[in-house]
Amino acid sequence: MSGNPTSPGPEATAAAASTAPVDSSNKRGRRRRLIGVSTKMYFSASRTEAFTRSVVELLSSPTDTLTLGDDDVDIFIIPDFVTLTSVISIIRSAPEGSVARRIKVGAQDCYSEDFGAYTGEVSPAVLAEVGVEFVELGHAERKRLFAESDGRVGEKVRGVVRNGMVPVICVGEMRKDGGVEGAVGEVVRQVEVVLKGVGEGEEVVLAYEPVWAIGGREPAAKEYVEGVVRGLREWEGVKGRGGRVRVIYGGAAGRGLWERLGGEVDGLFLGRFGHDAGEFVKLIREVAGGGGEGGE
């Protein structure tokens, strides 16, 4: 199929422009905690919907002991593209005022341009129009399987920001034999490229995922993660953005990790360890329970 690039209609333009960015600071000026899960391509459409309904049910119970203030924590689910709108609908059907109603939905990738003859790609403007708030970009699997460069990821980041959504940018070193210093250098180089042209006032999430830890049985060591995250925060390209950058950890992230890392990172990005609704909610409780109240 071919055709000339088309301009967005007025409805799409208005919807994209009205998408409110996520504010990463709470009422006390501290960074809000953040926890989310990506289903990657593990789920069928029916399983994605069943998973979402279970999470909504668990976070909608009137007897639920999980109490979150409006300025405490953000929760997100990133399903596949096909089920995005159904997941959004399920969350919007949650009881008004419930924790479930506050779950945000993300996409696993997008194209850098809003509209045009780009068969098979997904427009960031359309994602914003249907209610997507976060977009995951630059995952190690996309770099490995689809040869995405940091420069290409940066183009997509600018498309996401342009449409009022928050990029969740995956960064991480390939190997651990360079130690903390080597990891910091590699991660900083990635961030410098992907944030080129992104205004300092824009909301950004950096998902630190050591590539060598993805899919492993255990996450990276506490001291290692803390050292890399501190080095990243101290780099002027992040430090200069103040509290507008949240750093979360992924890479074999599971139960008990927040208690170990909560003083340094702003949250967790889950893969398979969050693919059970009950386990996901338990991890949400851990992150909501305390710690991680850093800020500028």
CA distances from 157 to 9, 163, 281 (A): 23, 10, 29
Whether 190 and 210 have beta carbons less than 8 Å apart is answered as: no
Catalytic residue, candidates 136, 139, 148, 226: 139
Structure tokens at 28: 């006390």
CA distances from 57 to 5, 64, 87, 102, 270 (A): 43, 10, 13, 13, 20
Whether 232 and 247 have beta carbons less than 8 Å apart is answered as: yes
Catalytic residue, candidates 209, 226, 264, 286: 209
- Angle of helix 222-234 relative to helix 179-194, nearest 10 degrees, comes to 40
Burial class (CB in 10 A: 0-12, 13-18, 19+), 35: buried
Catalytic annotation present for 209: yes
DSSP-assigned beta bridge partners for residue 78 = 38
Catalytic annotation present for 139: yes
Active site (catalytic) residues? 139, 209
